[in-house]
Chains A and B, each alone.
Chain A
Amino acid sequence: MIRKTFLGLLLVSALGAFAAGCGDDGGGIDRPDGGPINRPDGGGGGGLNPGECFDGEPTTELEIINACPTTGCIPFDNATRIPPDKLALVPQ
């Protein structure tokens, strides 16, 4: 449980830095440890948050496109770059 809390704080911290860094589209996720945020179980690749990657043997397309490592990736945060009313127009 403690570990989960720590990971959660780490994630929130990292995502905050990520969101702040997205406005200028300058490239690179500003993570506390400088590396990708891995999620060992991956949640099937579909439950990842911005900047997270799937740390395992990828089998599905979502796992493949989100596989770790994410060297050189540049986040594009739809939530901060696209107005909500416009984002709602995009079919899921």
Chain B
Amino acid sequence: MGLAQTVCQELPDDEYPNKIYGVGGSAATPLISSIAREFAKLPGDQRVTIIWHDPGAGHAMHSLIGQEVDGVRTPAPVGTSGAVQQARYWDSNGNEHRCSVDTLSNPVLADFGYMAAPPQDINGYEDLDIATFGIGAFVGPVSGWSLITHIDSNQNAISAEALYLVYGYADNSGVAPWTQKRWLFGRNYTSAALLAWVAATGLPAESFQFHEDVQTNSAMVTAVANAEVPNASLGFVSTEVADRNRGQVKTLAFQAKGQTCAYYPDSTPTSFDKKNIRDGHYWNWAYHIFYAPVNGSGVPSNPLVARFFDAITGKTNPDVPHNLDLIIDEGTIPDCAMRVSRDPLGGYTPLASYAPEEPCGCYFDFVATGESTCDECATTEDCSGDQVCRRGFCEEW
């Protein structure tokens, strides 16, 4: 990228047709990038250019509905909300680029928003019904929230109680080795990642103490990786971001309140099976939720957004037929691979056992880890009992 900044709105329509602007948290930036890249590679008029701005989860609401000022809510144009200035876009080869949104001479409103949190978890939107503003919510795959420490840390686990004290009392936590505020990193109240740990610990968002608000998931990885006292370092990111940076930071197993042992999101620190999220042993996870203006039928008003949502939420769609693979590859979990659930729009409601309509656990294991213990099949006749052959594997039903 050169010194001159590309202006997002000035990207030529012949090269970058059908632009849609999205605003929200950085937790799902890997997944959004993966799907956006596929839309950028579609031929001709089928192409959709997704311009993605990820200053933080709460900014999705700021951009679609707006903070209340003197009783009035006005959506904030893309780029005016949050400290992260640059947006991402993808060319027809799938390469990622950055552009600056012109907020002065050509302000644009967001076509969609994304948060791994329900609106009521966002400061200033607690009692707001987004439907009254014509906004609909679309539930996507599951994302874990990971606690990370320096790659050389000698720590492997932490409990909810310890985390409460570490972030609540910082230098005075008493929980060795996390006793130095200098090496605690955090996010502000617009971050879904912070809200996740608020839910897990019971520590109010405003009571979190840390050295620096690092603004994004990727910046959190950098801050923790560069900590000069490895054992004392602590931060938090989405599990997919942690997965992408296992060479730089180390994920801690987490022991939730009332739990007798700590668990990684995966069955081991080196696997990618998300087993403990899928079966409920790893408590801290949420659904990626996408938001957009909807018509009277509850469908996104912008048909380009509707296409993008179908692909990223895991629906069968013609634009990205291999979307399930991409969702799994990016470290997120489609609903069909989950065996526990919580109310997607209710926040961190208690976990419940869950039986997906058409389970894909065998296929998930195969894509995520390269192997599955399930029998392979061509048709259901190759399977036994109640099993059903789906995507080449005998799924449980």
Contacts and interface: CB of A to CB of B under 8 A. Distances in A.
Interface of A: 24-27, 29, 45-46, 48-53, 58-62, 64-67, 70-76, 78, 81-83, 85-87, 89-91
Nearest to B168: A89
A49 to B, nearest CB: 7
Contact of B263 (A51, A62, A73): A73
Contacts of A82: 161-162, 165, 174-175
A64 B262 CA distance: 13
B157 A66 contact: no
Pairs A-B, 4 closest by C-beta atoms: A73-B261, A86-B174, A64-B280, A61-B350
Contact of B253 (A46, A73, A86, A87): A73
21 contacts: A49-B260, A50-B261, A64-B279, A65-B256, A65-B283, A65-B351, A66-B259, A70-B261, A70-B281, A72-B267, A72-B276, A75-B262, A76-B157, A76-B255, A76-B262, A78-B159, A78-B162, A81-B162, A85-B174, A90-B164, A90-B202
B157 A74 contact: yes
A48 to B, nearest CB: 5
Contact of A66 (B162, B260, B264): B260
Contacts of B276: 72
B165 A89 contact: yes
A46 B350 CA distance: 14
A31 to B, nearest CB: 12
A85 B256 CA distance: 20
B100 interface: no
Interface string B356-372: 00000000000000000
Interface in B143-184: 154-159, 161-162, 164-165, 168-169, 173-176
A62 B259 CA distance: 7
B261 A81 contact: no
Interface in B255-301: 255-256, 258-264, 267-268, 276, 279-281, 283
A72 B263 contact: yes
A48 B260 contact: yes
B132 interface: no
Contacts of A24: 154
A70 to B, nearest CB: 5
A27 B261 contact: no
Contacts of A67: 279-281
A33 to B, nearest CB: 16
A4 B9 CA distance: 73
Nearest to B177: A25
B263 A64 contact: no
Contacts of B350: 60-61
B353 interface: yes
Nearest to B259: A65
A84 to B, nearest CB: 10
B258 A75 contact: no
A26 B153 CA distance: 12
A50 B260 CA distance: 4
Nearest to B340: A64
Most-contacted residue by chain A among B155, B175, B281 (CB, 10 A) = B281
Nearest to A86: B174
A78 B154 CA distance: 18
B253 A65 contact: no
Contacts of A52: 260
Contacts of B161: 78, 82, 87, 90
Interface in B210-260: 253, 255-256, 258-260
Given A81-B162, A89-B169, 5 more contacts: A51-B261, A52-B260, A66-B260, A72-B264, A74-B263
B267 A86 contact: no
A89 B173 CA distance: 10
A59 B175 contact: no
A29 B157 CA distance: 13
A86 B351 contact: no
B169 A46 contact: no
A64 B164 CA distance: 22
Contacts of B157: 25, 27, 74-76
A62 B281 CA distance: 10
